[in-house]
Amino acid sequence: MQVDLVIDTKGLACPMPIVKAKKALDGLTTNQIMEVQSTDKGSVNDFQAWVKQTKHELIKYEEENGIYKFFVKKV
């Protein structure tokens, strides 16, 4: 998977990972993929809800060593 942009929100609490992701996604073009890295456990639910609201596509998310990675495709 080709990631067009990586956003590091590690250490930030809700709602900052979503705020930073939204600003970054606004700068992407359709079908580009953004990876957001977060250490906030609440971001798992936040990203799933946010993607549903915005109609973008959460391709996948994974957790590794306490870091959550969300791969969002701009629609």
Indicate the SS3 state at residue 66.
coil
- Tokens, residue 68: 């959550």
For the question of residue 14 being annotated catalytic, the response is yes
Angstrom distance (rounded) from CA 44 to CA 52: 13
Q: Are 19 and 46 in contact (CB under 8 A)?
A: no
Among the listed residues 14, 24, 33, 58, the single catalytic one is: 14
Instruction: Cite the active site residues.
Output: 14
